[in-house]
């Protein structure tokens, strides 16, 4: 099974059905493959819950320029978690 949300791809781990490998998709900017999408491994053999935590954390890190204090961080974490849950609801297995 493969689950893709935004630029994150979760694949069933080869070593077990309840574990996942997390890959982050990024555009190649230079070289012969410039413009193509590279699938960069990020974490192997993790639970779905851990994958969700990593994705939410990565999404917050992408937009931390606007965060000044802990209150704003908590608000951004809540918003990002809500976004992630909404994306999960769209997936049809």
Whether the pTM exceeds 0.85: the reply is: no
Per-residue DSSP letter, 23: E
H or E stretch at 63:
none
pLDDT of residue 63: 63
Only one residue has tokens 């939410």, namely: 56
pLDDT in tens, 18-65: 899 999 999 888 888 888 899 999 999 999 999 999 999 888 876 666
Residue 44 has phi, psi (to 5 degrees) of -115, 145
Question: Residue 23 burial (CB < 10 Å; 0-12/13-18/19+)?
Answer: buried
Residue among 43, 53, 54, 38 nearest 19 (CA): 43
């Amino acid at each position: 099974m493969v689950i893709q949300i935004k630029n994150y791809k979760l694949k069933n781990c080869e070593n077990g059905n309840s574990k996942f490998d997390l890959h982050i998709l990024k555009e190649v900017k230079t070289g012969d493959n410039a413009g193509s999408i590279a699938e960069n491994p990020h974490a192997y053999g993790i639970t779905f819950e851990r994958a969700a935590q990593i994705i939410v954390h990565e999404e917050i890190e992408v937009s931390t320029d606007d965060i000044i204090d802990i209150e704003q961080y908590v608000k951004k974490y809540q918003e990002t978690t809500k976004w992630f849950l909404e994306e999960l609801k769209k997936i049809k297995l």
